[in-house]
Chains A and B, each alone.
Chain A
Amino acid sequence: MSAARWLLALLANALLATPWAGAAWALDDPAARMRKTVLDNGLTLLTLEDRATPAASLQVWVKVGSGDEARYTGIAHLFEHMMFRGTKRLGPEAHERLIEARGGRVNAFTSRDVTVYFGDVTSEHLPLVIELEAERLRHLDMSAESLESEREVVLEERRFRTEDSPQGRLFEALMALAFQAHPYRHPTIGWRSDIEKVDVETCRRFFETYYAPNNLVVAVAGDFDSEEVIELVRRHFGPLEAAERIPRNPTVEPVQQGERRSTVHFGVRAPLFAAAWHAPPSGHADAEALDVASLILSSGRTSRLYRRLVYEEQQALSAVGSYWELQNAGVFYASAGVRPDADVAKVERLFFEEIDRLRDEPVTEAELDKAKRGLEVDLVNGLATAHALASRIGRDFVTFGEVRPLEQRLEAIRAVTAADVQRVARTWLVPERRSVVHLVAPPAAAADGAGE
């Protein structure tokens, strides 16, 4: 958030005297104590001491995701798997086994914008996590054999998450429909044919291109001494060589000119409905108002979608709408699980009536207050563990180049008005820029199910 916007938010809050204005809100933001260290090779290290927990979380945020892919979709994610397949000194999966044997948790995830590796341990094991992360960045050992084995694992993951999953198929179809030019259209796990064909050389080039220290942010939170962690990181990550430049995808999604629709056939008993509107990317001034709209639509039994679709009309088992911000674009995502005996077209109509209502009339003050309070509580809950703290500083820094102070975020949330919510709904949630997918049983299977 820009300084100007921050100031505006503050002013607005002071003028509006929201219900919180009088409440003593003395939340200590641990991120205020965060230290930032930039190594000579460009690696950014963020350390946040929190001595009230026995745990420590170290996260390596790599600024590459499936949105950076060219030619082979899924390589960012497949490569993430390869990072666990051993180094010149350590065998396949040894990294994970070593930390597991000390009771720690190890995992990684890939999104459209980032790849994140983490180790959560009781704090006496933090030095091991630091050395292991540096080890694979400096001495990764990829072989054709390990790639073959991991390729099969990823294909199993694709079957599990997407091909045999109604939700997975629905979401894959929706993103491929909403984006036509930008690589965000591709599933992060990749299309099957690409996963089947990618080779070791391509993986190696991908690694050399994106896994440079000046493309990494290391975030550490929990019980440790910053000086000592900084020294260890300097020692073990310092020898990495910076890349001259990190290539970025130039594509900008053209403005959508009219609704898009698609149907997916899959043998389900309960059809699914989903829609996506193009929305602004991370850091946009409308973010908080879109978040507030999300909560008014979807949070709790009093939310509009629950009340209308699930409770009153009894057409859906669930219904949500939420703002999903990405680095280079955003999506307002809607989905509903249709009751087996209900009609997906009717669910869509009811859903869009609620979206229309958001555009046509201002939300009530009670709804506004409730949504803001929900966001406020979410922020507090996000401070509860070392892992959550490291995630917050890592994500914020990678996305915004700074860690947004809690107070600033609270003020921005509190500044949202009913008029703001209506304005962003009118700006973004328009029929011309939405994509709609129905996932239903193929006609034959539907008849089969009906005859049961």
Chain B
Amino acid sequence: MIARLAPAIAAAFLFACAAFQPTPAWERPPPPPREGPVVEAAALRRAELPNGLRVIVLEDHRLPRAALGVTARRGAGLESPGQAGLASFTAELMERGAGDRDTLELAAVVDRIGASLSAGASFDETSVGVAGLSRDLDTLFEVLADVVLRPRFDAAEAGRVRAETLAALERAKDDPGDLARMAFARALYPDHRYGRRLSGEPETVARLDAAQARAFHARVLSPGNAVFYATGDVDAEDVLARVEAAFGAWQPAAVPEPGSAPAAQAPTGRRIVIVDRPELGQAQIRVGHEGIARRDERRIAASLMSRVLGAGGFSSRLMSRIRAEEGLTYSVGSSFVLRRHPGPFGVATFTRVPEVRRVVDILLEELERIRSEPPVAQELANAQSQSAGRFALSLETSEAVAGSLVDLDVHGLPEDSLDTFRGRVRAVTAEEVAQVAQDLVHPERVAIVVVGPAEAPSRWSGPRSPTQDGSASAAKKRRSRFAARRASRARACACAPPPAPPLPRRAPARPARAPPPTAPGRTRGRGW
């Protein structure tokens, strides 16, 4: 499916060179990248039903698997802050009974064939996916169509989901990283939906019911607002016929306007938020402000700048300094969360309590330095080759490619974005990166979030005083507001935390390098 990128002869030549050269590989110029089309034209089929449902089929016959789904181009972004959690609640209820089957009957059909079913929502989309063996395609289609078109929205199930969500929100307060992420989101978007958790807040979830879910489903899931995808060991013609049979009678409806953008903030300076967790020996830290939207033309330059700053692993300035040189953390990273409207931009890390002030100072210094000393040619070249190479690895499976094509569809981006991505990465100039650093990084007006024992201020003293322009009192106010609340009151909670992590069966892994803490929010993180 993914095209073989170059003739084997080229590979043989490279290996031969490697075998006879005395200089080590890392001192030789890197071999030329072997790149061809990401998506083989012959494997991809696009279509549109008369009712407006768009269809993407990507054949990949390497393994006897199939994955299919329907994604609607709206999600939690439609909710007002007071309804926070409705999209996730609706998606969860869609899994709880559809067509002729109740929750456990539906699950039995899925489990019997070793398949998986998941419905979920992000800020920008609501989706249902099923995956299993390709020989079970009949069942996979049947389940998908039932869940998308005929969810039951049973009132008793709604009660269960509400209680489970509330319990999960309470449990999320046990996760320091999650507390930090949500306090950061709230600091950036106090009055906008982005400042509330995807799965909602206790006071909003408590009000959700089956009728609201049914209404949300009717509003969001319609053929003109959705894309169907299938990938794996399937035949495109056969899939198109099945899609027509299963979804052809789906009635078109008006496509809802997207949710509103966050009001332009007029931040006056740094804000500090402390979430008090007396039992912690390590503080979680987030520093940043609003970033850019998914469709922003600067997204590739911004992602390269972020790689140099903190998203590029050990090649990044933050990882080099805070972990490799100073041993202050196990992980640090930066990221832009790309959504329809500008999501958070920020850096995330954690350190032992006595070093909080030092680490925050370094984070602020590096945010300043990416502006005053923009990436030099070598840093940019590294970020570019890293970005292009990681792109190829991230699309090793057809599920990943199909998911990316759906993502492009959701955001109305060009269909050939995957094939043009590496070229666009290489075309970014040092001047553009320097410019995005100037335009998109503002250390003078960041929100700083620390989750840790607030009662030990003498141990870490907090970050240096905020800027002088009147924000000090605001910061102080916020700080006292948060410090005064007990930990249990801090804005917390999560989209359902994972179940008690089942141990990897063979070997509980302990990686040397953690993935960077997903800085300010969850994202599909795709910049193409």
Contacts and interface: CB of A to CB of B under 8 A. Distances in A.
A445 B276 CA distance: 14
A112 B507 contact: yes
Contact of B174 (A120, A166, A282, A395): A166
Contact of A163 (B8, B282, B489): B282
A333 interface: yes
Contacts of A149: 324-327
Given A93-B320, A156-B329, A160-B282, A336 B500 contact: yes
A232 B15 contact: yes
A121 B393 contact: yes
Interface string A236-275: 0000000000000000000000000000001111101010
A124 interface: yes
B464 interface: no
A36 B167 CA distance: 52
A51 B62 CA distance: 11
A307 B104 contact: yes
Interface stretch (B18-26, B337-345, B437-445, B470-478): B18-26
B14 interface: yes
Nearest to A114: B507
B388 interface: yes
A123 B11 contact: yes
A156 B507 contact: no
B132 A377 contact: yes
A317 B16 CA distance: 56
Contacts of A163: 281-282
Interface string A145-188: 00011111111110111011011000100000000000000001
A93 B114 CA distance: 42
Contact of A107 (B281, B328, B513): B513
A230 to B, nearest CB: 11
B312 interface: yes
Interface stretch (A9-17, A203-211, A367-375): A367-375
Interface string A118-130: 0011111101101
A102 interface: yes
Contact of B512 (A108, A155, A325): A108
Interface in A67-100: 77, 80-81, 84, 89-90, 92-94, 96-98, 100
A248 to B, nearest CB: 18
Contacts of B497: 317, 337
Given A302-B111, A340-B167, A374-B111, A159 B502 contact: no
Given A81-B512, A156-B352, A122 B312 contact: no
A199 interface: no
Contacts of A266: 279
A54 interface: yes
A325 B506 contact: yes
Interface stretch (B45-53, B235-243, B262-270, B379-387): B379-387
Nearest to A272: B500
A41 interface: no
Contact of B281 (A54, A153, A164, A235): A164
B386 A153 contact: no
A328 interface: no
**B16, B65, B170, B171 interface centre (most CB from chain A within 10 Å):** B171
Given A109-B510, A302-B111, A89 B24 contact: yes
A103 B425 CA distance: 13
Interface string B1-30: 111111010111011101100001110001
Given A89-B24, A97-B315, A166-B174, A151 B352 contact: no
A421 interface: no
A80 B176 CA distance: 27
Given A102-B30, A121-B389, A373-B114, A54 B132 contact: no
A320 B328 contact: no
B512 A318 contact: no
Contact count band on B: 35 or more
Interface residues of A, number: 129
B503 A333 contact: yes
Contacts of A298: 502
B8 A54 contact: no
Contacts of B389: 102-104, 121-122, 125
Interface stretch (A212-220, A353-361, A380-388, A427-435): A380-388
A196 interface: no
A383 to B, nearest CB: 6
B69 interface: no
Contact of A122 (B282, B393, B487): B393
Contacts of A189: 510
A46 interface: no
Interface in A12-47: 23, 27
A119 to B, nearest CB: 11
Given A270-B170, A320-B500, A122 B33 contact: yes
B192 interface: no
Nearest to B496: A317
B503 A322 contact: yes
Contacts of A370: 111-112, 114
Contacts of B324: 92-93, 149
Contacts of A101: 315, 382, 385-386
B278 interface: yes
A336 B25 CA distance: 49
B64 interface: yes
Given A109-B512, A448-B486, A103 B386 contact: yes
A135 interface: yes
B385 A167 contact: no
Interface string B379-416: 00010011111111100110000000000000000000
B424 to A, nearest CB: 15
**A103, A108, A337, A377 interface centre (most CB from chain B within 10 Å):** A103
A125 B509 CA distance: 26
A324 B314 contact: no
B205 to A, nearest CB: 14
A55 interface: yes
A159 B488 contact: no
B505 A322 contact: yes
B330 to A, nearest CB: 4
A144 interface: no
B510 A188 contact: yes
A417 interface: no
Interface string A310-336: 110010011110111100000001011
A378 B173 CA distance: 33
B103 A123 contact: no
Given A80-B512, A153-B329, A376-B114, A452 B160 contact: no
A104 B24 CA distance: 18
A159 B452 CA distance: 13
Which 4 pairs show the lowest CB-CB distances between chains A and B?
A103-B389, A318-B499, A152-B327, A301-B107
8 contacts: A111-B508, A124-B11, A228-B19, A302-B104, A317-B497, A318-B498, A318-B500, A373-B112
Interface of B: 1-6, 8, 10-12, 14-16, 18-19, 24-26, 30-34, 62-65, 103-104, 107-108, 110-115, 132-133, 135, 160, 163-164, 167-168, 170-171, 173-174, 176, 277-282, 312-315, 320, 323-331, 350-352, 382, 385-393, 396-397, 486-489, 496-503, 505-514
Given A270-B167, A373-B112, 13 more contacts: A107-B511, A123-B34, A135-B24, A163-B282, A225-B11, A269-B488, A274-B500, A324-B506, A324-B508, A325-B506, A339-B171, A385-B396, A395-B507
